[in-house]
Amino acid sequence: MPHILIIDDDPPLRGVMRNVLERAGHVVQEAANGREGMALYRQACFDVVVTDIFMPEKDGIEILMDIKKTSGRSKVIVMTGVDPRDLLGVKSSASLLGADRVLTKPFDSRTLLLAVEEVLKLVPGSSGAPSRTGVDEQRKYPRFPVAFPVLFGDGVWTQAGTVVDISHEGCRIRSTDGVPGVKYFQVEIQLGESAEKLAVDLAVMRWSRQGELGVEFIRMTPESKAQLRRIVQRCEETYATLQGREGVPKPICDLSHRASSEA
């Protein structure tokens, strides 16, 4: 499982980044300044260090130089929120000193995850993928069979498929277009015959096999989270009603009328 160190003097940003990376299956530690960050770095082995440039006590450029001197294995992503007029100089300096990626603040969760994924491919002995990739390891919550049309993509490409089961944490998608070549994307699920849709702003592909992929939902709006809870609750109620009967129909959850009434 990839180990990542976040160094930034902005507590809210550190918290958001940590949550995003941990939800994607990474082990994350964080530090509030450069000195604390380097102390942690010397105590453990990190695959990736994500550091701000401008911080008290020890800045990101110093951290970058120290890491490159002590180890050639750890990859470094530097973050900067400098004036756009100075951005080119900062990026050039960081790249010349060995930074593997430079992120300009503000950036979204997908940008962070893609940057981490890209540099992990450069780490010896790492596939770039979180270790929680087994079919069974993803299932923290019960999954219920459904049959919802779905579109998933990153805004540039889009694939169609069918959600064949769903839970509080994610879903399983069957796609005749095959498995996508990226791990992070957006998901839009059509709920039965109604016009209602469940939108997932960011999802990660945990596993794939024979045209199916297991998807975990990473980021959703509060409204979408509530919508997902209603969907799963309806499935739970239907399953409880049918439990014990022979020949339980699949899919067991039909939201074509329920979804529109609860919108």
Q: What is the pTM of this model?
A: 0.58
Domains 3-120 and 137-262 share a fold: no
Mean pLDDT of all residues in the chain? 81
Whether residue 151 contacts residue 163, with contact meaning beta carbons closer than 8 Å, is answered with: no
The fold of 137-262 is: Thrombin, subunit H (2.40.10)
Fold adopted by 3-120:
Rossmann fold (3.40.50)
User: Distance of alpha carbon 50 from its chain centroid, rounded?
Assistant: 16
**pLDDT grade for 139, boundaries at 50, 70 and 90:** low
- % of the chain residues with pLDDT over 70: 77
- The residue written with tokens 């998901």 in the block is 187
Question: Any idea which of 41-45, 52-56, 79-83, 102-106 has the lowest mean pLDDT?
Answer: 79-83
Domain ranges across the chain:
3-120, 137-262
pLDDT in tens, 169-184: 999 999 988 888 888 8
Is the pLDDT confidence value at 262 over 90?
no
Residue 47 has pLDDT above 80, yes or no: yes
pLDDT, residue 74, reads: 86
19: exposed, middle or buried (C-beta count within 10 Å: 0-12, 13-18, 19+)? middle
Confidence of residue 136 (pLDDT cuts 50, 70, 90): very low
Cβ proximity of 22 and 43 under 8 Å: no
Burial 207-239 (b: 16+ CB within 10 A, else e): bbeeebbbbbbbbbeeebeebbebbbebbeebe
Residues 6+ apart with CB under 8 A from 109: 16, 20, 202, 218, 219
SS3 content of the chain, % helix, strand, coil (to 5): 35, 30, 35
